[in-house]
Structure 1
Amino acid sequence: MSKIAFILLCHKDPEAVIKQAQRLTAKDDYMSIHFDARAPRAAYDRIRSALADNAHVTFAKRRIKCGWGAWSLVEATLLATEAAVAAFPKATHFYMLSGDCMAIKSAEYTHEFLDENDADFIESFDFFESDWIKTGIQAERLIYRHYFNERENKRLFYAAMNLQKRLGLEREIPSDLQIMIGSQWWCLRRRTIEWILAFTRERRDVMRFFRTTWIPDETFFQTLVRHLVPEEEIRNRTLTFLMFSDYGMPVNFYNDHYDLLMSQDYLFARKISPEAQELKRRLGVLYSSDGAEFQISNEGRSLYTFLTGRGREGRRFAPRFWENEGSLGRDREMLIVVCKKWHVAKRLVWRIQQLTNVPAVEYLFNEDNCALPDLGGIQASMDKRHRHRRALMRMLFDYYDTDRLLICLDPANIDLLQDFYGDRSVTRLLEVQCHFTDAYLVGHAKRVGLAGDHTKPDALRRLLPTIRNDVLFESETIRDAGFANHSQIREWETAEQNARALADFLQVPPETALDVAHTDHLFAD
């Protein structure tokens, strides 16, 4: 029977780490912990003390400071894995986890699954041929040496890379390796782990190469597994279920996601919200239960792929255009209508244009076929519009010969809102809040590819909480951002109440705002 050594990387919440270790080792499995050296020593000592008598728990021999995108994440993983291999000779599988992960199947189901599938589970796509990287630098991750962290010291990161470009200091990728890329959440067999550790000792050239690549946790294990293990013994997927919101942030799971998580074709899930205490309790009971049955739906993989793909479009590793572009203009005013129901926003904007002289462009950052003037090609593709957002907006102000311009945005575009609010120009935001019936959300799921015409009603019912939570979370994120000049109109308010918000947003007389608020069938689906 399989025995799992969980490799846990964590950096906070010692009480949650202790509970996670106790829960996952209660069924005779093991755990090796690396607790980030950036975290307080007292928190680490608390974990060590609480788990001192648990023979199924070990710790990495040393703690290192981990940084996003840096080699330190791989180094921490290797340290924890080496400790697990030495401490747990009976472990048959090694499963990578974070402190935000929890099992969504029982231990009984998990062990049976691994017994029946003699394979390594890891995402690994060709680095150059696949489209796994949606935006930002790609080959530059590998062919240049990266000594600075892009998130901690952006100026030095790009200065060092650009200096190497000017001097022609490209380096060779190890000739016998096909570089692969994928999620860092893997489950590998003991033999594979032993091969990897032996490889790290023998191939110092490969280790030197990866130490100075950018975001090696997405390439190191993915490349080595493909290099060392026969292809037929690799399953190109992760066993950890995760989703990303429209703007690239991991979706948190809450108490009402229990049924949804159980039905997914995965063993673990991340991220479980720290506030979801009831969900954690139920999943903990589930993991220790015997005889539990799981009805696996076919929606999990498509949901994961869809939301991950959309989310990764929001991850940016290249220099942000707006960091070196000029301002839109101190005397210019941008009016932004944010609404998830695009048809409602378009109806509203049509009426505003009838009653004011403010030029408007609808969802130019969301719809490829949005009507735009010819601006020399900068408007030609969605990628260009996002990459050159400020230049595009300046050209639109000039094209319409105006100092006031109105656009529509989907609430998922939090990065655009933050950028425009960071400009010296005046930005005003109107958030249009609507009712979202189950029928509308089902239609939305079908429109964006989360479900099809033949999706079973039970699967749709399980899908709805995640979609609804994602929509509500976007609105909460906008409110939490604390944007100035933020007005709201709501479907459930009277026209008179909405008119006050419209007058403030448009800076028009109350009677004009009331005419806008009385737009026929404004909120109709």
Structure 2
Amino acid sequence: MARIAYILLCHKDPEGVIAQAERLTAAGDYIAIHFDGRASKDDFARIRTALAANRSVTFARRRHKCGWGEWSLVAATLEAIRAATTAFPRATHFYMLSGDCMPIKSAEYAHAFLDAEEADYIESFDFFTSDWIKTGIKAERLIYRHYFNERTQKALFYTSIAWQRKLGLTRRIPPDLTIQIGSQWWCLRRRTVEFILDFVARRRDVMRFFRRSWIPDETFFQTLVRHLVPEHEIRTRPLTFLMFTDYGMPVTFHDDQHDLLLAQDYLFARKISPDALGLKARLGALYTAEGVQFAISGEGRELFRFLTGRGRIGRRFAPRFWETETSLGRERTLLLLTCKKWNVAKRLAERIRQLSPIPATGYLFNEADTPLPDLGGIQTTPEKRTRHRRALVRMLFDYWKSDRLLLCIDPGSVDLMQDFYNDRLTVRLMEVECEFTDAYLLGHARRIGLSAPNSPAESVDKLLPTLRYDLRYESDRIRDADFANFHRLRQSASLAANAAALAAFLGVTAAEAEAILATDTLFLD
């Protein structure tokens, strides 16, 4: 059975460290603690005294003074690993933690998870070809020597880089290594950890290289694991659940997010708010619990992105000159059909295409597989279609040799609607108003990754009103825009009323519109 030796790097909250150590070791696991050399000696003494009788706890022999982005974090980790491998010969896995981490699964679940597969869990992507680094310097992290801390000595940090660049003082990456990058929250097997310690003892050149690199805790272990372990034994993912905001700051979890955390496919989560005392108590008790069943849904990141995005109204970039200056033609009519139930709008568009001379297409700005003619590559992706929307629509008019054209458009794309209305051609807009049952909203949430079949009922109950309001809000935005030639077709209206609205929208007779609507499947989900 798996026995985990936790590698804990911490610098504050001695009572929390003590509680975490007691909690993790109570389930038969181990912990090796490195308490920052810059932290209070009294706090460290309190931790050592409280845990002195616990044989499943050990301490790094040397306390490094750690700085964010510096080699000292890797050095501290290696010290704790050495202590753990010596003190705990029965440990099968070594799991990197911080003081802000808490378990979101029981020890029973964690052990079974690790027993199920002979693998190391560590994010590791190619340093130079991946987009893991979102902002800041990239190659400079490696090719220059770093003696200063960017956070505390910003001017010296960048001056040092500038002088090295000016003098051509770049350095060579060890030729036998392919530098990798990823999260520092890993879980490695004992064999892998022993490989790393042996490599560290033999390859002083590699140690010298990483010692002067920037943020080596995101590259050192990631690179060595890829170098020492066969690829099929590596899972490129952490087992600690963490998220970042749009501004690059780690998301902090609070008391009301207990169910969300338990539903994620991870063993631990960070960061837990220091004030989330209720959450800490519940998660603390969870680790030693037995027989707990977990419904894994894994929608955490998508749900966070969705909910934090509500209320934010972005501004798109200014239109390109060929979009603002080129008209689609005064003599042409563009028919925009909008409906949140895409299958309903596409059925109606297909009926219009079959029973009238009007060319019609689906959600070409949203769905990549929308059937379109070959227009020289401008039609290949939804992004490219949106970027060159006026040129695309003009080419479709020309291709079908028609002065009328019908497109389906998502109700959330009000800016796209407005852009077409700003042109000199005639634009008509029809909103198809459907009924949204709870079952449909739940299916919609699953399709867009906000929910899963086994999501907790409490989470679903909170999500559905938000989704319903979001759909209503999109419809209200269309009405508030006060578009000319606006028509509405309702699921609840009579055939005659809908036929009259459709006839005005398409410019056809009421009989022709009624024939188009004469189907029992139009509003089926």
1:371–1:156 distance in 2 versus 1, CA, 3 Å: same
Measure, in 2, the Cα distance between the counterparts of 1:294 and 1:241.
15
The whole-number CA distance in structure 2 between the counterparts of 1:467 and 1:183 is 33
The residue aligned with 2:175 is 175
CA deviation after TM superposition for structure 1 residue 3, in Å: 0.6
Question: Which residue is 1:245 aligned to?
Answer: 245
Structure 2 counterpart of 1:296: 296
Aligned to 1:429: none
Pairwise CA distance, 1:300: 4.1
What's the RMSD between the two structures over aligned residues? 3.5
Change (3 A) 1:34 1:452: closer
User: For residues 52 and 465 of structure 1, what CA distance do their matches in structure 2 show?
Assistant: 46
Q: Residue 487 of structure 2 aligns with which residue?
A: none
Counterpart of 2:336 in structure 1 is none
Q: What pairs up with 1:214-225 in 2 under 5 angstroms?
A: 214-225=214-225
Per-residue CA distance 1:300-344 (angstroms, 9 max, x = gap): 46568x69xxx9xxxxxxxxxxxxxxxxxxxxxxxxxxx96245x
Equivalent in the alignment of 1:341 = 311
Question: In the superposition, relative to structure 1, how do residues 130 and 49 fare at CA in structure 2: closer, same or farther (>3 Å)?
Answer: same
CA distance in 1, matches of 2:22, 2:131: 39
Q: 1-side partners of 2:464 and 2:9: how far apart?
A: 29
**What corresponds to 2:210 in structure 1?**
210
Cα distance in structure 1, aligned partners of 2:124 and 2:173: 17
Residue 278 (structure 1) shift: 1.0
2:459 corresponds to which residue? 462
SS class of match (1:184): coil
Show the counterpart of 2:94. Answer: 94
Confirm or deny: 8 A CA contact 1:95 1:187 kept in the other structure: yes
2:187 aligns with 187
TM-score (norm 1): 0.62
Cα distance 1:32–1:289, how it changes in 2: closer, same or farther (>3 A)?
same
| Per-residue Cα deviation, 1:22-74 (whole angstroms, up to 9, x for no partner) | 00000111000001111111111110010010010000001111111110110
Please state whether the residue corresponding to 2:297 is helix, strand or coil.
Answer: coil
Q: What residue identity is the alignment partner of 1:89?
A: P
Compute the displacement of 1:247 (Å): 1.5
**SS of the residue aligned with 1:62?**
coil
Structure 1 unaligned runs (5+)? 312-338, 344-362, 375-438, 469-519
| Distance change (3 Å), C-alpha of 1:96 and 1:39 | same
For 1:197 and 1:173, how far apart are their aligned partners in 2? 20
Q: Which residue does the alignment assign to 1:386?
A: none
CA distance in 2, matches of 1:270, 1:453: 21
Partner of 1:434: none
Distance 1:76 1:284, change over 3 A: same
SS at match of 1:84: helix
- Structure 2 residue runs without a partner (length 5+): 323-436, 466-478, 482-525
**Residue in 2 aligned with 1:333?**
none
Name the CA distance, whole Å, in 2 between partners of 1:62 and 1:120. Answer: 27
Answer yes or no: is the 8 Å Cα contact 2:243–2:301 preserved in 1: no
Q: Distance in 1 between matches of 2:450 and 2:249?
A: 29
Q: Does 1:121 align with 2:118?
A: no
For 1:453 and 1:153, the matched residues in 2 are separated by 42
Equivalent position SS for 1:171: coil
Task: Tell me the alpha carbon deviations over residues 420-468 of structure 1, each in whole angstroms, 9 at most, x when there is no partner.
Answer: xxxxxxxxxxxxxxxxxxx9xx99xx89x99348855946963898999
Residue 226 of structure 2: SS of its match in structure 1?
helix
Within 2, Cα distance between the matches of 1:256 and 1:457?
Answer: 19
- Whether the 8 Å contact between 1:299 and 1:451 is mirrored in structure 2 is no
Counterpart CA distance in 2 for 1:176 and 1:463 is 50
Aligned residue number for residue 523 of structure 2: none
Identity %: 62
Aligned residue number for residue 39 of structure 1: 39
For the 8 Å contact 1:299–1:459, the answer to whether it is kept is: no
